[in-house]
Amino acid sequence: MTGEMNDCRAAKASMNFIAEHIKKVASKLDINSVSDLVDNIMGAKKIFLMGAGRSGLAARAFAMRLMHMGFQVHVVGETTAPAVQPEDLVIAVSGSGETTSITNLGAIAKKIGSKLATITSNRDSSLGIISDVVVIIPGRPGEELDHNDYQERRMIGYPQLAPLGTVFEISALVFLDSVISELMVRTGASETELKMQHAVFE
């Protein structure tokens, strides 16, 4: 019994499940919206990333890469993030598209006149409908989110234990890293581009 428990079958099953999901997300990716996102990143004066909880960690991981590539990029809420201006791009990461704090900031971004891009599972969400660019990253089918405020969920202790709940955040992270590949190709970061091509096909 314990032996059965100690073969870590759940761990392996979980990793393979996530890998399969990432492939599904890649195959369903809407090229136009991804292309719009890349164009907006390349055309922005400054880029701001925002997200709550684990989505916020995915947003930060992307911000770090954009900084490596030489973009002027900031994470909303970090110490030295300056004011958002009309020529800037604000990118929100939110599975439900309903996280209250992020939705509020998205609305402010639109009021300022900056571009707003959202990475979400939910096109018809509060964030989705006000965004200039929406990239859909499917969560698992049938997913129902009944608590739309991230900080409220944190305070209430809503049990979001299922690793399957991670599908959005990890998929979003992998997608955002793939946007870096795309940016490298488009900006002609040649040596690194070659390295990337090499690795993809090795």
Q: What Å distances lie between residue 52 and 3, 11, 87, 152, CA to CA? A: 39, 26, 24, 11
Q: Mark whether 4 is an active-site residue.
A: no
Active-site entry in 4, 87, 152, 169: 169
- Candidates 41, 44, 75, 133; binder of a second copy (CB under 8 A) is 75
Position 148 contacts a second copy (CB under 8 A): no
| Encoded tokens for 165 | 């709940």
Q: Using the Cα atoms of residue 153, residue 25, residue 195 and residue 38 in order, give the sign of their dihedral.
A: negative
Binding piece for a second copy, criterion CB under 8 A, among 76-84, 91-99, 116-124, 125-133: 76-84
Sequence-distant (≥ 6) Cβ neighbours of residue 51 within 8 angstroms: 57, 58, 59, 60, 92, 93, 94, 99, 102
Helix or strand or coil: residue 137?
A: coil
Provide, rounded to whole angstroms, the least separation between the CB of residue 85 and a second copy: 7
- Restricted to residues 5-24, the positions that interact with a second copy (CB under 8 A) are 5-8, 10-20, 22-23
Q: Which residue number, 82 or 129, has a Cβ lying nearer to a second copy?
A: 82
Q: How many residues lie near a second copy (CB under 8 A)? A: 95
Binding piece for a second copy, criterion CB under 8 A, among 91-99, 115-123, 125-133, 177-185: 177-185
Sequence-distant (≥ 6) Cβ neighbours of residue 167 within 8 angstroms: 18, 21, 139, 140
- Restricted to residues 86-145, the positions that interact with a second copy (CB under 8 A) are 100-101, 104-105, 108-109, 112, 140-141
Binding piece for a second copy, criterion CB under 8 A, among 91-99, 122-130, 154-162: 154-162
- Candidates 42, 43, 85, 86; binder of a second copy (CB under 8 A) is 85
Position 79 contacts a second copy (CB under 8 A): yes
Max CA pair span of the chain? 61
User: Is the separation of the CB atoms in 167 and 140 below 8 Å?
Assistant: yes
Position 35 contacts a second copy (CB under 8 A): yes
Element spanning 89, H or E: strand 89-93
Q: Which residues are catalytic?
A: 169
